[in-house]
């Protein structure tokens, strides 16, 4: 028969020794593998295990709650990672589009607005959103300055070009067909003057004038 | 073959000292999710006598511990089912002792062997062995009685 005291001292360490993962291979003859067993669970898990051992039902509820929290945390972390990837792609697209715009701007303008190639890339890819926004605004401002100032100049130049082309056209046309060009020639003449009204004695105005003269006389 | 029902993981209530984190690191107490997985993996684990499989388990390669326990030559039976009682949170087990070991059955029936002690690898969720013992490491791990079927014992402690 086995001595209960021997069993008591042998059973628990034996169980603990078997619980140690590396104990069989690393320290088969270790008297107490419990000390050699590395803590493989977190402090929270250990406390939860100890609490659950004394309060099994509440411990299970608590464990389920913690598991839910962990699932939510993992889900949130995954979503954040996805959004980060999307944001990175969006930034790259914006950066490429802005670089396309820069090709239409003169070097003086890009230098003036601090949006030359090297600057723009670093600013758009900056982790600080404010810097990226500011860079985009400066590109827009540079585009406005370039394209909006170019529009009036073009419209002013247009009549000159039109006149020049018209003159050239008329000269060539005169050579081809003088009769048709003569039709287009204008002669400056004063606007026709309306003939003065010839008021006779019997007119109403004359009668009114006379009546007034008679009254003031 | 006779079937026995018992508890292999109870609570530390009553006059027993409450466990601490160190007991969790040693594997004496486990978190509820691990306990559930241990129950799920219990079927097929060998029933041993006073942790007789531990030396073989110590020598086994990682991942082959249960097979080493099964093959160690002094197996006294096998676990048929294990689950956690819904009402108490205790882990229950039904195990069978082969007809070829009538003396073991007699000792259990006579309450000479009346406790259970389960072994697992810390960090793993597989039950390596379920040992018949006279001095369990965990409190409240008693062999309740002989049962006619697994269903009968499950009815007593519904999961």
Contact criterion met (CB below 8 Å) for B68 and B53: yes
For chain B, list residues with pLDDT below 70: 14-16
Output the six-digit token pair for A132. 């990226």
pLDDT value at residue A132: 86
Please name every residue paired with B96 in a beta bridge, in sequence order, or none if there are none: B3, B78
Average pLDDT score over residue span A175-201: 57
Instruction: Name which of B109, B97, B121 is nearest B145 in CA terms.
Output: B109
Average pLDDT score over residue span A173-196: 57
Which of B21, B60, B136 minimises the CB distance to A47?
Answer: B21
Residues 6+ apart with CB under 8 A from A45: B24, B31
Instruction: Tell which B residues from 125 to 154 touch A, by Cβ distance under 8 Å.
Output: 128-129, 131, 133-137
3-state secondary structure of B128: strand
Contact criterion met (CB below 8 Å) for B120 and B79: no
Q: Which of A2, A4, A16, A18 to mutate to test the interface with B (most CBs of B within 10 A)?
A: A18
CB contact under 8 A, B122 and A21: yes
In this model, does residue A35 exceed pLDDT 50? no
pLDDT value at residue A4: 34
Dist CA B155 CA B159 (whole Å)? 9
Integer angstrom CA distances of residue B106 from A146, A208, B97, B103, B135: 102, 154, 11, 5, 18
* Closest CA in chain B for residue A40: B123
Dump pLDDT digits (tens) for A122-143: 888 888 888 888 988 898 898 8
Average pLDDT score over residue span A58-86: 91
Confidence of residue A11 (pLDDT cuts 50, 70, 90): very low
ipTM field: 0.70
Beta-carbon pairs below 8 A across chains A and B: 153
A189 or A14, greater pLDDT:
A189
Which of B90, B129, B135 minimises the CB distance to A4?
Answer: B135
Dump pLDDT digits (tens) for B6-46: 999 988 876 667 888 888 888 888 888 889 999 999 999 99
Distance (Å) from the alpha carbon of A13 to chain B's nearest alpha carbon:
9
**pTM summary value:** 0.55
What is the share, in percent, of chain A residues with pLDDT greater than 70? 56
3-state secondary structure of B11: coil
pLDDT value at residue A10: 34
Residues 6+ apart with CB under 8 A from A2: B50, B134
CB contact under 8 A, B61 and A25: yes
Q: Which of B13, B17, B25 to mutate to test the interface with A (most CBs of A within 10 A)?
A: B25
Confidence of residue A36 (pLDDT cuts 50, 70, 90): very low
Laid out side by side, the sheet with B91-96 consists of B115-120, B127-133, B46-49, B77-84, B91-96, B3-9, B143-147
Cβ neighbours of A47 (radius 10 Å): 15
**Which residues on chain B are in Cβ contact (under 8 Å) with A31?**
none
Query: In this structure, what is the dihedral angle of CA atoms B146, B152, B157, B158, given to the nearest 10 degrees?
Result: 160
What burial class does residue A189 get, using C-beta atoms within 10 Å of its C-beta: 0-12 exposed, 13-18 middle, 19+ buried? exposed
**DSSP label at B41?**
T
pLDDT value at residue A216: 67
The gap between the terminal CA atoms of chain A, to the nearest Å, is 166
pLDDT value at residue A27: 32
- B58 has a chain A CB within 8 A of its CB: yes
CB contact under 8 A, B51 and A63: no
pLDDT value at residue B24: 84
Give the domain ranges of chain B: 3-146+152-156
Distance (Å) from the alpha carbon of B119 to chain A's nearest alpha carbon:
6
pLDDT value at residue A186: 58
């Amino acid at each position: 028969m086995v001595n209960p005291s021997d069993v008591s001292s042998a059973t628990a360490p034996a169980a603990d020794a078997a619980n140690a993962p590396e104990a069989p291979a690393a320290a088969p003859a270790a008297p107490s593998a419990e000390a050699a067993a590395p803590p493989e669970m977190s402090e929270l898990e250990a406390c939860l295990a100890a609490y659950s051992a004394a309060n099994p039902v509440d411990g299970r509820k608590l464990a389920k709650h913690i598991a839910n929290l962990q699932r939510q945390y993992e889900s949130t972390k995954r979503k954040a990672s996805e959004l980060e990837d999307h944001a990175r792609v969006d930034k790259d697209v914006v950066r490429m589009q802005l670089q396309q715009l820069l090709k239409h701007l003169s070097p003086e303008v890009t230098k003036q607005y601090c949006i030359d190639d090297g600057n723009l890339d670093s600013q758009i890819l900056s982790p600080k959103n404010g810097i990226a926004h500011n860079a985009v605004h400066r590109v827009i401002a540079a585009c406005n300055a370039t394209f909006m100032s170019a529009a009036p100049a073009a419209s002013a130049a247009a009549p000159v070009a039109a006149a020049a082309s018209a003159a050239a056209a008329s000269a060539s046309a005169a050579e081809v067909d003088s009769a048709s060009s003569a039709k287009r020639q204008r002669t400056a003449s004063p606007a026709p003057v309306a003939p003065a009204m010839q008021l006779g004695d019997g007119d109403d105005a004359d009668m009114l004038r006379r009546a007034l003269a008679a009254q003031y006389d | 073959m006779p079937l026995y029902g018992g508890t292999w993981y109870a609570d530390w209530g009553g006059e027993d000292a409450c466990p601490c984190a160190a007991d969790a690191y040693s594997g004496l107490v486990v978190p509820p999710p691990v306990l559930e997985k241990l129950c799920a993996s219990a079927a097929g684990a060998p029933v041993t006598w006073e942790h007789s499989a531990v030396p073989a388990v110590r020598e086994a390669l990682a991942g082959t511990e249960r097979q080493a326990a099964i093959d160690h030559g002094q197996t006294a039976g096998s676990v048929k089912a294990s689950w956690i009682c819904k009402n108490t949170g205790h882990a229950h087990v039904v195990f069978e002792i082969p007809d070829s070991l009538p003396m073991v059955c007699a000792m259990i029936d006579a309450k000479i062997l009346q406790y259970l002690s389960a072994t697992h690898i810390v960090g793993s969720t597989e039950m390596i062995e379920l040992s018949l013992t006279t001095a369990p490491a965990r409190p409240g791990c008693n062999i309740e009685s002989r049962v006619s079927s697994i269903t009968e014992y499950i009815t007593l402690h519904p999961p």
